[in-house]
Amino acid sequence: MTEPHFLEVKHLAKRFGTDHGELTVFDDVSFGLDKGEFVCIIGHSGCGKSTILNVLAGLDSPSGGEVYMAGKEVRGPSLERGVVFQNYSLLPWRSALSNVEFGVRARFPGWSKSQVREHSLQYLHMVGLKDGAEHRKPAALSGGMRQRVSIARAFATQPQLLLLDEPFGALDALTRGTIQDELLKICTETHQTVFMITHDVDEAILLADRILLMTNGPFARVAESVKVSIERPRDRTTIVHDPGYYPIRTHLVDFLVSRSRELSERDDAVRDAGHSREARAQALAPVDVDPAAEARARAAGEAPPEALRTLHSTPAAAPLKAVNGR
């Protein structure tokens, strides 16, 4: 019997009422995260990535499906789940240190003032905020520094699950790279479980253990779970020389450019065919993909794994069982 994942997302759906009827943003979204795993999710705008993250955080309710963390159903927000948004979400009248302390006090109400301060400073220093920067208010900090405070606050509360909603999207390339390196270092030290939204395929390859790929909306779903089989620790200056880097990158770009749309069209055909919910769910289940392993197998003159071979050879008019490589 398969061991349950630390985070289980089962048949999640989100629907909205509009003037033109009901809009299904995503449907039958299912995936899992293991403890200590770093998972990124990528998809075109409008496929519901942020809504999924908000459901995981307990800030939104799904129209269908369930989310379980550590065997308990997620219902409403909890300090066991930390969130970092793109817009920093800091209290402007508090210093960087005070912003982090605010979260730590809520998480550990029995701690003394000195314990809270020492713990908060530890995480601020981990993201490179020291030498007086920790005592500045957000208005006196750069965008990169503000995001460092948000990340330090989230890690300092020691959540079981850290949710990141495009946390580096508003930062310049140099600052983004620096904070990515700091995030990698902290995750390595803390074994934090992370679910992160990004539109940057290179960022996803650098940070993630797996990358979930979503089809286009409406009726979006998680179509593939791509394994990033590149050894850790990873370094942005050398990762591009890893033999698995470009096979993974090419696979992700190909999905975003063409296959996400093609799979959406196939999905519509499956839904319109009148199959049972069980058969439909099986046909639309995510496929596990390892592009780096496929590239290594080809270089060695071996046949690629069956799932990958089927995935890349399935014709558009394939029958139900072959949709998305199944």
The share of the chain scoring above pLDDT 70, in percent, equals 92
Tally of helices (H runs) and strands (E runs) in the chain:
11, 11
Query: What are 162-183's pLDDT values in tens digits?
Result: 999 998 887 888 888 888 998 8
Query: Which two structure tokens, joined as six digits, stand for 227?
Result: 């394994």
The rounded mean pLDDT for the chain is 88
In this model, does residue 198 exceed pLDDT 90? Answer: yes
Q: Tell me the CA distances in angstroms from 109 to 21, 121, 170, one per residue in order.
A: 47, 17, 33
Position 171 scores a pLDDT of 80
The lowest-confidence range among 37-51, 152-166, 176-190 is 176-190
Q: Which residues partner with 17 through β-bridges? A: 22
In this model, does residue 300 exceed pLDDT 70? Answer: yes
**Is there a contact between 214 and 226 (Cβ–Cβ < 8 Å)?**
no
Give the Cα separation of 156 and 55 in Å (integer).
Answer: 22
In this model, does residue 313 exceed pLDDT 80? Answer: no
Position 306 scores a pLDDT of 57
Position 172 scores a pLDDT of 84
Query: Which two structure tokens, joined as six digits, stand for 28?
Result: 């039958």
3.40.390.10, 3.40.50.720, 3.60.15.10, 3.40.50.300: which CATH number matches 7-80+159-325?
A: 3.40.50.300
Amino acid at 171: L
In this model, does residue 312 exceed pLDDT 70? Answer: no
If phi over 0 gives left and psi between -120 and 50 gives alpha, with beta otherwise, what is residue 208? Answer: beta
Position 220 scores a pLDDT of 94
In this model, does residue 215 exceed pLDDT 90? Answer: yes
Q: What is the DSSP letter of 207?
A: H
Domain assignments of the chain as residue spans, ordered by start: 7-80+159-325, 89-158
Span 83-112, average pLDDT: 93
In this model, does residue 303 exceed pLDDT 90? Answer: no
Position 308 scores a pLDDT of 52
**Which helix (H) or strand (E) is 98 found in, with range?**
helix 96-107
**Is there a contact between 206 and 38 (Cβ–Cβ < 8 Å)?**
no
Query: What are 115-136's pLDDT values in tens digits?
Result: 999 999 999 998 889 999 999 9
Query: Which two structure tokens, joined as six digits, stand for 116?
Result: 């809270």
Query: What are 249-281's pLDDT values in tens digits?
Result: 999 999 999 999 899 888 888 877 776 777 777
Position 59 scores a pLDDT of 94
More confident of the two residues 317 and 237: 237
In this model, does residue 143 exceed pLDDT 80? Answer: yes
Span 298-314, average pLDDT: 59
Span 2-29, average pLDDT: 90
Span 194-222, average pLDDT: 95
Q: Please list, in sequence order, all residues whose beta carbon lies within 8 angstroms of the beta carbon of residue 22, skipping any fewer than 6 positions away.
A: 15, 16
pTM listed for this prediction: 0.88
**Is there a contact between 289 and 226 (Cβ–Cβ < 8 Å)?**
yes
pLDDT band, residue 316 (cuts 50/70/90)? very low
